Amino acid sequence: MISTDLFELIKLFIDGKGRLEPEVFGLGDFSESELLNANFELIGESESFHFFEKAFEVFYSNRKITILLKQYFFGCESLGAGLSIAGGARLVALLKKLIFANPAVKKSIDVYLSEDKTEGALILFQKFVIRFDQWSKRSSYTVSTIEAEFDNERFGDIAKKAVFNTYERLSTDSISGANLLAYSNALRRLIRTISARG
């Protein structure tokens, strides 16, 4: 169990430009030896692109959910972190908190959706990718992963390119109140959140 809640953890991730402080997870640093000693699992070959991952519990809306912390490396070079989130963290609730903490977030958002609009991704500040999905067409969008582009030209825009290759961009400027009714409740709430004045 880590001491911060999910929103604060995500805010730290964005403020840290895709990096997190090891102390949050009870670590001295994010070296490979430290991660192995803390029972992180190695995924991939250590001579090339690989990462270490471990599950942690974190508070979210008066309950505990599980996150998977991933620390990425290329050889010995640390590239940054990523988070997978299980347990139903609602996208719109998280987004509202991020916008309240930093109003510039709203203007930075690009929305990408699958053809059936049951999953997609937000790109924030052209650096961060928040992926989301639905358990059913009547449910809210929930956050599945949060990633950031690595500060390494070898992997230029790898997170965003994956979004571009999978989803179509939604132009919220072209959506009026009338055709908004054609969308699911989850998508309407998302559009209203990022389109609201303020």
Tokens standing for residue 122: 């937000």
Do residue 98 and residue 183 come from a single domain? yes
**Residue 185 lies inside a defined structural domain of this protein:** yes
**Residue 121 lies inside a defined structural domain of this protein:** yes
Do residue 67 and residue 34 come from a single domain? yes
Do residue 12 and residue 76 come from a single domain? yes
Do residue 107 and residue 47 come from a single domain? no
Do residue 10 and residue 76 come from a single domain? yes
0.95 exceeded by pTM: no
Do residue 99 and residue 175 come from a single domain? yes
pLDDT at 176: 55
Question: What stretches of the chain adopt beta strand conformation (E)?
Answer: 41-44, 49-60, 63-74, 77-86, 110-113, 119-124, 128-133, 142-148, 168-170
pLDDT at 98: 95
Mean pLDDT for back-to-back runs of 10 residues, the chain (198 residues):
92 94 96 96 94 96 94 93 94 95 93 94 97 90 96 88 95 63 86 76
Last residue of a domain, one of 69, 86, 103: 86
Q: How many independent structural domains does the chain possess?
A: 2
**Residue 104 lies inside a defined structural domain of this protein:** yes
Tokens standing for residue 131: 């992926």
| 75-37-84-128 Cα dihedral, nearest 10 degrees | -50
Do residue 66 and residue 115 come from a single domain? no
Q: Are 70 and 52 in contact (CB under 8 A)?
A: yes
Do residue 67 and residue 37 come from a single domain? yes
Do residue 148 and residue 175 come from a single domain? yes
Last residue of a domain, one of 86, 108, 141: 86
Q: What angle is formed at CA 90 by the lines to CA 106 and CA 27, rounded to 5 degrees? A: 90
Do residue 98 and residue 57 come from a single domain? no
* Helices and strands per DSSP (H, E), number in the chain: 7, 9
pLDDT at 172: 66
pLDDT at 155: 85
Last residue of a domain, one of 68, 86, 104: 86
CA distance to 19, 179, 182, 184, per residue, from 171 (Å): 30, 13, 15, 16
Do residue 97 and residue 176 come from a single domain? yes
**Residue 1 lies inside a defined structural domain of this protein:** no
Question: 161 is in which domain, residue-wise?
Answer: 91-195
Do residue 133 and residue 104 come from a single domain? yes
Q: Are 59 and 67 in contact (CB under 8 A)?
A: no
Residue showing tokens 């992963």: 145
